[in-house]
Amino acid sequence: MKRLISGCLALLLFAPGLMAQDASGDGIGGAGEHPEGAFFDTLDVNVVNIEVFVTDKKGNPVTGLTAGDFTLLEDGRPIGISNFYAVAGGKPALPAGGAEGAEGAAETRDPSLRLESLPEAQRLHVVVYVDNFNIEPFHRNRVFSQLRTFLRTLDAEARVMLVSYDRALHIRQRFTEDAGLVTAATFELEEMTGGRLQYNRERRDILKVIDRAASDDEDRKTNYAVLARIRQHASSIKNDLEFSLEALRDTINSLSGLPGRKAVVYVSDGLPMVPGRDLFYHAQRKFEDLSAVLESRQLDATRDFQVLANHANSGGVTFYTIDASGLLSLTSANAENARASSVDGGGAFADEMDRDNMQASIRYIADRTGGTSIVNVNDIGRLLGRVGADFRTYYSLGYTPGRAGDGRYHEVKVTVARDGLKVRHRDGYRDKPVNQRMKERTASSLRHGYQSNPLKVAVRVGQMSPHNERNLVVPFVIEIPLGKVVLVPREGVYEGRVQVYFTAMDEEGAIADVQQDEISIQVPAEDLEDARGKHYTYEARLVMRPGRHLFGAGIRDAYGATSSFISVGVATGSG
């Protein structure tokens, strides 16, 4: 990937002065609020939120449940629900009753206080991911006609993004609330060629070769040559699969730090759980003395999909997968492959196994992340309607793990104390340390243009200077109003702790590694009142190539557990 900055992002010595600008705010604790020497440590409460979808036997969403209807287990142990939020039809719901101690708008008993829109933490982000490399154009374009109708039904507050994978990941439409922009971008994709065509051609050729080869010992040399060809084909598919999974991981990474709910609608003809599995099995049926099936196991990618699902769960991303190939149509059944299908039904057997192999992976991803998969249907409109129901009707169960982020993956299980109901949810999460969460949030906010600034932080670009013949040193001055920072008494001074995270993105979308620093702000007790109206200034210097860039910063008040995420554009040199 093209690097944004030559060399590394360097943390410059920050300027620890109190600037004279006025900065109104109320974050500083007064002398009467915290007695001298009082104990006060960093507040780092991580609430884990699990989205839960409950449906009846017909697949219809079930509303009206309360926190008391749910049982939540983490790693097999019961854990109390501290935060409960119910949404029905895209709006906060008022359940008939609730569990004591549950919080949020869904627990409001006064109808006059009912919220008409969802808070930012519940806002929906949908990424339509078109896997052009693993799809046939006809299948893709058929799905598009129904997908466009579905996108137009999304709530106005939903943010939708369109990306495609064409041996590389491309953003076709950035997040927007205008579904028309996304649907328009799908028409442009209809002109592109799908990579699955080549895969299908190669696979059909190998099926013919297997069928034409001898089935006994009369030409073992030829038979082993056939197996070598299958091995080469399967290895090539495994290599392609690794790049496909890497693109999906990159998409998850870009979403992980975004606030709100995140869903990926993945459109493809499927991904092989075991590359070449159908061909190895077909060869084994033909050449019984060969260990073809054993070779297929060496290419098993099940572990890779497990890692991908865990990664999605750790980022709070739910997958809804669509097999665009539709109803089963065995390629061996056509005239071109009639001979292949004549060997004990081998061709048909291989086709069915290929289909199952491609669908197993996308079913797995959807199941593990709490979503659903759409397979073996040409008319996907009704099933897309159920995806839309997930977007508009769900429950959010929140709890505090009772530990600082240990970085480990923890399994989660949710049940409902009513018969006949189906419960779906992501089956785990990674308990990330606060610095990892802040890095992800800083990068995601910059990439997707999300800004939130409760600390009223300001960023300005300082005077640039040459670094070498081509690059410039660009200072970014971050001004933090002390009136918004929690300061606590420490032996004659008031102390604040602020964590600074920053990165930059070039015009091609490449983002540098997020850098971090922690600063201690100390204000003499006698200067506390005067400090309320001033800023603390931090400066970060980055070495940049010519061009247009975005600088992004995440600022966290460690004692107040409040964070701001802001960005500023800069043009450097002649780019």
How much is the mean pLDDT over the chain? 85
Question: For 70-107, b where at least 16 C-beta lie within 10 A, e where not — what string?
Answer: bebebeeeebebbbbbbbbebbbbbbeebbeebebbbb
Residue 9 in domain: no
Q: What are phi and psi of 567, to 5 degrees?
A: -145, 160
Q: What is the pLDDT of residue 462?
A: 93
Question: Which amino acid appears at position 215 of this protein?
Answer: S
Provide the phi-psi class of 263: left if phi over 0, else alpha when psi is between -120 and 50, else beta: beta
Q: What is the pLDDT of residue 361?
A: 97
Q: What is the pLDDT of residue 285?
A: 82
What average pLDDT does the segment 86-103 reach?
A: 64
Tell me: the pLDDT tens digits for 281-293?
888 887 776 677 8
> DSSP of 99-111, one letter per residue?
-TT--SGGG---G
Residues 412 and 426 both lie in one domain: yes
Question: Which amino acid appears at position 105 of this protein?
Answer: A
Q: Which domain holds residue 62?
A: 48-122+393-430
**Which 3 state secondary structure label does DSSP give 250?**
helix
Residue 133 in domain: yes
Question: Which amino acid appears at position 227 of this protein?
Answer: L
Residue 8 in domain: no
Does the pLDDT of residue 113 top 60, yes or no? Answer: no
Q: What is the pLDDT of residue 267?
A: 98
Adjacent-strand bridge partners of 498: 519, 557
CA distances from 247 to 46, 360, 426 (A): 29, 19, 21
Contacts of 419 (CB under 8 A, 6+ apart): none
Q: Residue 48 belongs to what H/E stretch?
A: strand 48-55
> Of the ranges 110-114, 126-130, 221-225, which is most confident?
126-130
Prediction pTM value: 0.86
DSSP for residue 410: E
Residues 191 and 327 both lie in one domain: yes
**Mode of pairing for the β-strands spanning 124-130 and 261-268:** parallel
Q: Encoding tokens for residue 43?
A: 């507040």
Alpha carbons 549 and 533: distance in angstroms, whole number:
32
Listed in sequence order, the DSSP H helices in 342-433 are 346-369, 381-392
Q: Please tell me the number of Cα atoms within 13 Å of 471 on its side-chain side.
A: 15
Residue 3 in domain: no
pLDDT tier at 68 (50, 70, 90 boundaries)? very high
Residues 111 and 35 both lie in one domain: no
Tell me: the pLDDT tens digits for 309-323?
999 999 999 999 999
Residues 503 and 553 both lie in one domain: yes
Q: Encoding tokens for residue 164?
A: 């495609």
Closest by Cα among 90, 181, 150 to 320:
150
Closest by Cα among 169, 233, 245, 173 to 198:
233
Sheet holding 428-430, edge to edge: 77-78, 70-74, 409-416, 428-430
Q: What is the 3-state secondary structure (H, E, C) of 441-481?
A: HHHHHHHHCCCECCCCCEEEECCCEECCCCCEEEEEEEEEE
CA-CA-CA-CA torsion for 9, 12, 17, 22, nearest 10 degrees? -20
The mean-pLDDT minimum among 10-19, 90-99, 488-497, 556-565 falls in: 10-19
pLDDT tier at 219 (50, 70, 90 boundaries)? low
CATH of the domain at 455: 2.60.40.3880
Contacts of 67 (CB under 8 A, 6+ apart): 81, 84, 98, 99, 102, 397
Q: What is the pLDDT of residue 94?
A: 62
> DSSP of 311-352, one letter per residue?
HHHHTTEEEEEEETT-S---GGGSGGGHHHHTTTTHHHHHHH
Tell me: the pLDDT tens digits for 183-206?
999 999 998 888 899 899 999 999
| Number of domain units in the chain | 3
Residues 173 and 315 both lie in one domain: yes
Residues 218 and 289 both lie in one domain: yes
Residue 436 in domain: no
Closest by Cα among 157, 152, 143 to 190:
143
Q: What are phi and psi of 300, to 5 degrees?
A: -60, 125
Q: What is the pLDDT of residue 119?
A: 81
Q: What is the pLDDT of residue 45?
A: 62
Residue 500 in domain: yes
Tell me: the pLDDT tens digits for 9-26?
333 333 333 443 444 445
Residues 353 and 397 both lie in one domain: no
Residues 185 and 292 both lie in one domain: yes
Q: Encoding tokens for residue 99?
A: 């569990």
Residues 232 and 185 both lie in one domain: yes
Adjacent-strand bridge partners of 504: 551
DSSP for residue 511: B
Q: What are phi and psi of 293, to 5 degrees?
A: -65, -40
Alpha carbons 439 and 254: distance in angstroms, whole number:
11
Adjacent-strand bridge partners of 473: 465, 543
Does the pLDDT of residue 32 top 90, yes or no? Answer: no
Q: Please tell me the number of Cα atoms within 13 Å of 238 on its side-chain side.
A: 19
Q: What percent of the chain has pLDDT over 90?
A: 67
Higher pLDDT, 127 or 218: 127
Residue 171 in domain: yes
User: How crowded is residue 108: how many other Cβ atoms within 10 Å of its Cβ?
Assistant: 14
Domain boundary among 410, 430, 450: 430
Residues 237 and 376 both lie in one domain: yes
pLDDT tier at 368 (50, 70, 90 boundaries)? very high
Residues 400 and 315 both lie in one domain: no
Does the pLDDT of residue 103 top 50, yes or no? Answer: no
Alpha carbons 138 and 150: distance in angstroms, whole number:
19
Higher pLDDT, 169 or 221: 169
CATH of the domain at 357: 3.40.50.410
User: How crowded is residue 405: how many other Cβ atoms within 10 Å of its Cβ?
Assistant: 16
Residues 330 and 372 both lie in one domain: yes
Q: What are phi and psi of 350, to 5 degrees?
A: -65, -40
Residue 6 in domain: no
Tell me: the pLDDT tens digits for 382-437?
999 999 999 999 999 999 987 878 889 999 999 999 899 999 999 999 999 999 99
